[in-house]
Structures are given as C-alpha cells and as structure tokens.
Amino acid sequence: MLFVAGIVLLALGLLCGVLLLLIPLGFVEGNVGVALWVLFPVFAIGGYLMAAASARGAAIPMLGKASGALLVLLALAAAVALVLQAAAIFQPAGSTLSLWYVLGLGLVLGATGLASHARERRAP
C-alpha cells in the first residue's frame, strides 16, 4: 500500500511539473499558482522516497532511473520552450518563470535520480 501511495504522489508531482510547463505555453487553460510551485518538488521527492522505502530489490534502482528520466525529459521540454521563446518563434501565454523553475528542478532532481543508482566503476 505504501508503494502505491508513493507512486501516486510521484505521479502527482510530475503532473504539477507538466502543468507548470504547459500553462504558460498556452496548451492548458489555468493559472500557475503557488500550490503547483510547492507541490511539484514536494510530491516528486516525497512520492519517490515513500515508494522507495517500501520497494524491494531491483525495484529501487528502476524507480530512481524511471523518475529521474521523466524529470530530465520535463526539464528538456522546458529548455526547448525557453529557446523557442528566446528566438521569438512563439510568445508564451504567461510568464516564463515557471519554465525556468521546471528546468532547474527537473535537471537537479532528474540527474540525482539517474545518478543515485548508477553502477559503481571498478578500479583498475
């Protein structure tokens, strides 16, 4: 049960990140509020920790790599949106501050998730 609750919280955290990305771009109608800013990292980190605490064996590295990859992809989408906006290819519907937030947190949390369970290199 704890694993499922962790996965749901992790998914909600990723959804908050996606909304922080899509609302300023005008793809989704809504408002980027403080709750999304807070819940994105809290749910992503808390959900991962909750799921990892109850996972067994090989599920923990797979969970870290999967969540890390999704966060990095989210950060890369924010980077692409910022580059397109900087090149004046399109104008976002709102402020790009949330795009910078998703870019920074996505890269840090995603890279941490991907690197936390990397295989250790053997010394020669």
pLDDT band at 124 (very low <50, low <70, confident <90, very high): low
Q: Where are the domains of the chain?
A: 2-115
The whole model's pTM is what?
Answer: 0.85
Q: How many CB atoms sit inside 10 A of residue 74's CB?
A: 24
Residue 120 reports pLDDT greater than 70 = no
Which tens digits make up the pLDDT trace of 12-51? 999 999 999 999 888 888 888 899 999 999 999 999 999 8
Percentage of the chain modeled with pLDDT above 70: 94
State how far Cα 122 lies from the chain centre.
Answer: 31
Alpha carbon of 16 to those of 29, 55, 61, 72: distances in Å?
14, 24, 23, 15
DSSP state of 111: H
